[in-house]
Structure 1
Amino acid sequence: MQSTPSTAELSEKVKALVRPERWAHILRVAELARTIAQRNGLDPDRAYLAGLLHDAARDLPEAELLRLAPPENEVERAHPLALHGRAARRLAEAWGVEDREVLEAVEGHVFGVLPENGIGMALYVADVSEPGRGVNGEIRELALGGRLLEAYRKAVASKVEYLQKKGVPIHPRTLEVYHSLSDAP
């Protein structure tokens, strides 16, 4: 039985796989996810861990993404980079991470998670609104103001509207999340 790895051990594993610019983004997302979690009554350490792991596979070669996370639909076959969340989950599992909500958050940061996964919502919002991106400040402020579900709903809607406007196929899981958020009170 393998022991749970420390955050420091996981940091070194992730850092070794990504470019310096990506590592800087990962650290900003992890810190923001932690703060969003704190302000919304969620576990800040678990949110930080999800942020730390979310882009672990983002800079891997396409062949490695396909090996770690074989495509499940046409959108993934056409856009292998869309697999990096599931591939990062596979890496995290191989490294000994067992927290299901954290693993689902890591995988779901690309397509979204159902609102029952608070850590996943915090990660998704942190990823799309971290200050280094220079966009979505209003979404970040909602989440930091204790209105995570509202921020998440806006973030997912914004992504769907952007993809529709660009004529890009939308992943079925993103549509599932979008509709679940639209139907929620």
Structure 2
Amino acid sequence: MSGTVSTASLSEKVRALVRPERWAHIQRVAELARSIAEQNGLDGEKAYLAGLLHDAARDLPEAELLRLAPPENPVEEAHPLALHGRAARRLAEAWGVEDGVVLEAIEGHVFGVDPENGIGMALYVADVSEPGRGVNGEIRALALEGNLLEAYRRAVRSKVEYLKAKGIPVHPKTLEVYQRL
């Protein structure tokens, strides 16, 4: 992050863009991502920052998502909400966030990240398992026990199985991560 950008100012920017329920989710994800990162020997503040920014674009109108993050494949064209991670990355960049690991985590929280990005894995797991969702408690527990890679593997598998069961196309990046894991 650039030295001129504070977490407090970023919090206010995000809070102004999202509904109160989304803001509550974002806060839970940011705190959980920090805890997961710290329990796995990673930078808790980077994970917190990624969590704070991950859904900044989630409540934007479809036209704004498309402007910020033009679709790159048929899945994104058919499901513009899938663009919210890339759009949130664009917002974070515009707000002065420069850390590539954090930016990749923000973008990758929708489709998955390379397992080399521990912050991205912590965010992905926190997003799918934060207590307010009421699901994936076993994945959260694994991550908090220091088993982040296994928790991430299960989270990605769970997402792919869920989408397939619902007949929803799986994003090519998610399939790539799934196959790699």
TM-score (norm 2): 0.98
List aligned pairs for 1:60-139, cutoff 5 A: 60-139=60-139
Task: Measure how far apart 1:4 and its partner are.
Answer: 3.7
- Distance between the aligned counterparts of 1:42 and 1:70, measured in 2? 32
- Distance between the aligned counterparts of 1:118 and 1:11, measured in 2? 23
- Distance between the aligned counterparts of 2:53 and 2:166, measured in 1? 29
- Distance between the aligned counterparts of 2:58 and 2:65, measured in 1? 9
Q: Which residue of 1 aligns with 2:154?
A: 154
Q: Does the 8 A contact of 1:5 with 1:95 survive in 2?
A: yes
Deviations 1:67-108 (A, max 9, x none): 000000000000000000000000000000000000000000
Q: Which residue of 1 aligns with 2:41?
A: 41
Q: CA RMSD in A?
A: 0.8
- Distance between the aligned counterparts of 1:90 and 1:148, measured in 2? 27
- Distance between the aligned counterparts of 1:56 and 1:166, measured in 2? 26
- Distance between the aligned counterparts of 2:48 and 2:71, measured in 1? 28
Task: Measure how far apart 1:166 and its partner are.
Answer: 1.3
Q: Which residue of 2 aligns with 1:59?
A: 59
- Distance between the aligned counterparts of 2:177 and 2:146, measured in 1? 21
- Distance between the aligned counterparts of 2:124 and 2:3, measured in 1? 28
Consecutive aligned runs of 4 or more in structure 1 exceeding 4 Å deviation: none
TM-score (norm 1): 0.96
Q: Which residue of 2 aligns with 1:144?
A: 144
| One-letter amino acid of the structure 2 residue matched with residue 43 of structure 1 | D
Q: Any unmatched runs of 5+ in structure 1?
A: none
2:28 corresponds to 1:22: no
Give SS of 2:151's match: helix
Q: Any unmatched runs of 5+ in structure 2?
A: none
Identity over aligned pairs, percent? 83
Q: Does the 8 A contact of 1:4 with 1:97 survive in 2?
A: no
- Distance between the aligned counterparts of 2:158 and 2:27, measured in 1? 24
Task: Measure how far apart 1:164 and its partner are.
Answer: 1.1
Q: Which residue of 1 aligns with 2:168?
A: 168
| One-letter amino acid of the structure 2 residue matched with residue 90 of structure 1 | R
- Distance between the aligned counterparts of 1:34 and 1:141, measured in 2? 14
Q: Aligned pair count?
A: 180
| One-letter amino acid of the structure 1 residue matched with residue 85 of structure 2 | G
- Distance between the aligned counterparts of 1:118 and 1:3, measured in 2? 23
